[in-house]
Amino acid sequence: MKKLIVANWKLNPPTPKAALALFRAYSQSAKKHPSVKIVACVPAVYLASLAKSARLSNVELGAQDCSSETDGAHTGEISAEMLKESGAAYVIIGHSERRARGETDELVNRKVRAALRAGLRAIICIGETTRDATGEYLEILRRQVQASLRGLKVSDWQRLIVAYEPVWAVGSQAIGVDTPTNFLEQAIFIRKIIKTLSTRQVALAVPILYGGSVDQRNALGFLSEGQAAGLLVGRASLRPERFAEIVLAG
């Protein structure tokens, strides 16, 4: 299966022009490495203007969040259907930066359902905030996966991608560095939990990405030794030359 390299642009870049330039750099990478699937999860306001470039390239578009609602009195919300109509094929849901702003597992679960109903592929982020010596974090992870992904049909799982992002290793405030070996262990643990929610087949098939300070130096390790199905890249995705090297690792 093609490795999936997902860029999470977060609240960047500041202008549509800069967004187009970054997207074009991705298209060049995609042309050179057709064996890798690239998804750019961009601020929703850039989707429509990048959609044409996306159609002409092998890079797909995604959003970074969606509403759990479909329409009505929800000021500021953007529905999954609107994202799809604007050119998104994927959406990140339950990113730790959104969970830190109060998003609960229950809301994440409703968003996942809304995204799947609209025909998007959902990239659902999970990961513990801290590590402890007694393994309590595993219980936290278990509860997070169970609550965020409960009640899905077998057919839903085919459009679901899990991104394991240990919060302590994410972003410029990261307090630790994760390793491919640890990722591999966590991925096995996550598949065990998924098995309790679905079937053994689903648990084995669902792609699990690694995210958390991925860069051009550690990408290959997570993909090969860590056996990750792909990567979710934050900061390094804003640097075209670094991102190109990450794609090369795929």
**Active-site annotation, residues:** 95, 165
165, 190, 202, 229: which one binds ligand PGA (CB under 6 A): 165
Spatial CA neighbour of 209 closest among 179, 186, 232: 232
Cis peptide before 207 (omega within 30 of 0): no
Give the bridge partners for 6, in sequence order: 39, 232
189, 235, 239, 248: which one binds ligand PGA (CB under 6 A): 235
Touching ligand PGA, residues 86-115 (CB under 6 A): none
- In three-state secondary structure terms, 173 is coil
The single residue listed with the structure tokens 């850039």 is 46
User: What secondary structure letter does DSSP report for 3?
Assistant: E
The single residue listed with the structure tokens 């994202």 is 83
Does residue 127 interact with ligand PGA by CB under 6 A?
no
Paired tokens of 70: 């479909």
Does residue 170 interact with ligand PGA by CB under 6 A?
yes
30, 214, 228, 229: which one binds ligand PGA (CB under 6 A): 214
CB closer to ligand PGA out of 187 and 233: 233
Among the candidate windows 13-21, 138-146, 194-202, 229-237, which touches ligand PGA by CB under 6 A? 229-237
Does residue 232 interact with ligand PGA by CB under 6 A?
yes
Alpha-carbon dihedral of residues 170, 174, 180, 186, nearest 10 degrees? -70
Q: Contacts with ligand PGA: how many residues (CB under 6 A)? A: 12
CB closer to ligand PGA out of 170 and 190: 170
Radius of gyration of the CA atoms of the chain, in A: 17
CB closer to ligand PGA out of 198 and 237: 237
